[in-house]
């Protein structure tokens, strides 16, 4: 294993919402982390499940937050969804678009025709839009029930913002699932189309996926056979990581993106100095006085090795701070 995390990978695939920024606010350490990767000539790729903005708009937003980026460094779930549709449909076929003009533009770019009504469509593509209405969902329901291919850009239940967690595209996909009793084909994380496209665009042989969500970023990395870093700046918590199933277990855990210049061994899952974890039946008793995140990494190792997540006990206040158990 390389000394520094950054040294072990030829590309970093950064998630955005909850990892680099929250809405209009950059997350502490994100700009410095991206700059450090660029300084080492490590390829940087911004990979987002959010389909509401074009790559150019994403790059402009990042640059405005102090994270310089160009459109050709951005991969979106809208692009991935358009690529899925292009492989399945004929040139000139009509696609009902539930989403922004940015999503419609990606559909046009692959030779398909974006429309807003169900008549004569061969497919429905669904991405997040703040202007989505009941009428849009009704048109999609008609088309899907008539046999149209249904592709969801992503199924994120929530969207991290500076105001907190707001409904994501997955919440609206759930409404159509309930209405049609059918499931969409998914283009974004954790499905592989977006991840595969990102690796190809980065021309990477050994990339690292960096994100804040176990159910999208990390699960997507696992599905694609890639190493991953979970940062605790967004949706998933330390408790979530400890309870994660095999399909969503990160290679490394860190507080934020500043960790990319830290030693890889320090961030890896496994026993850590300063903490003693003693297994007693279905319980893990915690004692010690080390780094709180080292405790998380050590608990992940113990929990993941067990047949079922063990109950964590002990009177250390760090357990309560991490939301793992009550302080006694």
What is the predicted pLDDT for the residue at 322? 79
Instruction: Give tens-digit pLDDT for 2-50.
Output: 589 999 999 999 999 999 998 889 999 999 999 999 999 999 999 999 9
State yes or no: pLDDT of 171 exceeds 80.
yes
For residue 212, indicate whether it is catalytic.
Answer: no
Instruction: Give tens-digit pLDDT for 57-84.
Output: 999 999 999 999 999 999 999 999 999 9
DSSP H helical segments within the chain, as ranges?
Answer: 30-39, 55-64, 77-88, 101-109, 134-145, 169-180, 192-202, 219-224, 238-242, 264-267, 292-305, 317-321
What is the predicted pLDDT for the residue at 326? 46
Instruction: Give tens-digit pLDDT for 103-136.
Output: 999 999 999 999 999 999 999 999 999 999 999 9
| Confidence (pTM) | 0.90
State yes or no: pLDDT of 160 exceeds 80.
no
Q: Which of 7, 15, 93, 217 is catalytic?
A: 15
Residue matched to tokens 């899952």: 269
Q: Hey, how many other C-beta atoms are within 10 angstroms of the C-beta on 313?
A: 17
Q: Which of 17, 93, 156, 215 is catalytic?
A: 17
Mind listing the domains of the chain with CATH numbers? 5-49+190-266 (3.40.50.1000), 78-186 (3.40.50.1000), 270-322 (no CATH)
Instruction: Give tens-digit pLDDT for 275-284.
Output: 999 888 888 9
Instruction: Give tens-digit pLDDT for 236-246.
Output: 999 999 999 99
Mean pLDDT over the full length of the chain: 94
Q: Which two tokens stand for residue 7?
A: 């040294």
**Contact by Cβ (8 Å): 128, 155:** no
């Amino acid at each position: 294993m390389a000394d520094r995390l950054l040294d072990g990978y030829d590309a970093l695939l950064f998630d955005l919402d909850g990892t680099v920024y929250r809405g209009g606010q950059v997350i502490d350490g994100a700009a410095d982390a991206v700059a450090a990767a660029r300084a080492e000539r490590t390829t940087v790729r911004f990979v987002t499940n959010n389909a509401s903005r074009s790559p150019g708009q994403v790059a402009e937003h990042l640059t405005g937050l102090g994270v310089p980026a160009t459109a050709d460094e951005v991969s979106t779930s809208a692009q991935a969804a358009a690529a899925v549709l292009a492989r399945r449909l004929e040139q000139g076929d009509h696609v009902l678009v539930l989403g922004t003009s940015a999503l419609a533009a990606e559909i046009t770019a692959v030779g398909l025709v974006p429309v807003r009504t169900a008549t004569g469509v061969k497919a429905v593509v669904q991405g997040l839009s703040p202007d989505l209405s009941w009428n849009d969902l009704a048109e999609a329901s008609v088309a899907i029930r008539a046999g149209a291919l249904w592709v969801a850009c992503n199924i994120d239940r929530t969207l991290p913002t500076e105001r907190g967690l707001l409904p994501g595209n997955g919440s609206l996909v759930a409404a159509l699932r309930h209405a049609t009793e059918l499931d969409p084909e998914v283009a974004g994380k954790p499905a592989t189309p977006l991840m595969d496209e990102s690796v190809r665009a980065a021309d990477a042989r050994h990339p690292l996926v960096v994100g804040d969500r176990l159910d999208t970023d990390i699960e997507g990395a696992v599905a694609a056979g890639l190493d991953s870093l979970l940062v605790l700046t967004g949706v998933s918590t330390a408790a979530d990581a400890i309870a994660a199933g095999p399909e969503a277990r990160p290679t490394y855990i860190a507080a934020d993106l500043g960790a990319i210049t830290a030693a890889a061994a320090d961030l890896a899952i496994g026993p850590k100095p300063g903490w003693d974890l003693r297994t007693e039946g279905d319980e893990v008793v915690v004692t010690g006085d080390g780094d709180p995140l080292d405790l998380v990494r050590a608990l992940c190792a113990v929990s993941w090795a067990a047949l079922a997540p063990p109950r964590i006990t002990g009177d250390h206040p760090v357990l309560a701070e991490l939301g793992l158990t009550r302080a006694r």
